[in-house]
Amino acid sequence: MPSNAKIVISQFGGPDQLEILDSDIPSPQEGEVLVKVSYAGVNPIDVKTRAGLGWAAQHNKNNLPWTPGYDISGMIIKQGVGSHKFNLNDMVAGFIGFPLRGGGYSQYVCVPENELALVPEDISLKAAAAIPLAGQTAAQALEKAQIQSGETVVILAGAGGVGHIAIQIAVAAKTTVYATCSSDNIEYVNSLGATAIDYTKADYLKDIGQIDVLIDLVGGDVALQALNYLHPGSRVITVPTITASSICEQASQQGIIGVGMLVEPDVTQLEELVKLISAGMIKVEVEQVINYQDVSHAHKKIETGRARGKILLNMQS
């Protein structure tokens, strides 16, 4: 019988703390399905949790070893009692176990079927694994900002997993989009319909003029400095939870509407995003697919802050 390799955090620390354990293949409970995972998305929250930072780490510190991973794509190979949404061998993707259960960095994982969306044949399982957390974070940030046609939107970290999708949604909403990136991603960000801004240049937001909405995917000092280019009544949605309170406090002192957010898994929204990919309206960028045995390399790549689009783990290689 095949075993189930899964990646675990056995203690908090650097990327080398990630270990691979072999366990039995689990059996789906009522309302669950067993997914043979093809790809698992690697997200900044995985890196923070592994380092012992943030909410998921706080809540799982007495629950180690713990398997991270919230984005998966793969095939249903077994159904639990009362599972009727899918058929055996259906291809699915999901934003699973968020924020406490995780489990995506596994070759086989049992998932409540209501966390999964069907992946049509015209979408690759790579694209499907890249969209759940990043796509829903992008969509929900722009919803919270209540962007309006004709407004100017600035996205910090436009080339990343969330940023490249946020650009495309904001462009489709007929806003004028500027997005920060490193010099080697300028052409790529421009190709998505935004105006790319090299964040290494001094005063890089100075020439934009009136900014209505800031989507902050960076946090910390970078975001605090960006607030200086907004005007009273502008809105800022800040995604990194660790610095959200300080950014919202500073925003409020400047008459700016500041909101922190934690993405909420929503399978209906995921199904909508899958349809948009299928229709060619959103293009998902996967920079690199890394063998799951090299997971520490994937985490180091995310920590550079320089990934273009998404980094995936190939869980079956």
Q: What is the DSSP string of 202-224?
A: TTTTGGG----EEEESS-HHHHH
| Rounded (10°) CA dihedral 126, 128, 131, 133 | -100
Rounded to two decimals, the pTM is 0.97
Quick one: how many helices (H) and strands (E) in the chain? 10, 15
Look-up: residue for tokens 């996967």?
Answer: 286
Task: Tell me the DSSP string of 37-48.
Answer: EEEEEE-HHHHH
Say whether 134-260 and 4-131+284-314 share the same fold: no
First to last CA, the chain: 18
Considering only CA atoms, which of 131, 172, 136 is closest in space to residue 153? 172
Per-residue pLDDT of the chain (317 residues; tens, 9 = 90+): 579 999 999 999 999 999 999 999 999 999 999 999 999 999 999 999 999 998 899 999 999 999 999 999 999 999 999 999 999 999 999 999 999 999 999 999 999 999 999 999 999 999 999 999 999 999 999 999 999 999 999 999 999 999 999 999 999 999 999 999 999 999 999 999 999 999 999 999 999 999 999 999 999 999 999 999 999 999 999 999 999 999 999 999 999 999 999 999 999 999 999 999 999 999 999 999 999 999 999 999 999 988 899 999 999 98
Q: What is the structure's pLDDT at 1?
A: 59
Tell me the CATH number for domain 4-131+284-314: 3.90.180.10
* CATH class of the domain at 134-260: alpha beta
* Annotated domain spans of the chain: 4-131+284-314, 134-260
- At 309, the amino acid letter reads G
The H or E element spanning position 197 is strand 195-198
Q: What is the structure's pLDDT at 305?
A: 85
Distance CA 185, CA 160 (A): 10
Distance CA 162, CA 136 (A): 8
pLDDT tens figures, 95-150: 999 999 999 999 999 999 999 999 999 999 999 999 999 999 999 999 999 999 99
Distance CA 163, CA 253 (A): 27
- At 117, the amino acid letter reads A
Cβ–Cβ under 8 Å, residues 313 and 43: no
* Residue 311: partners with Cβ closer than 8 Å, 6 or more residues away: 41, 42, 161, 286, 287, 288, 289, 290, 298, 301, 302
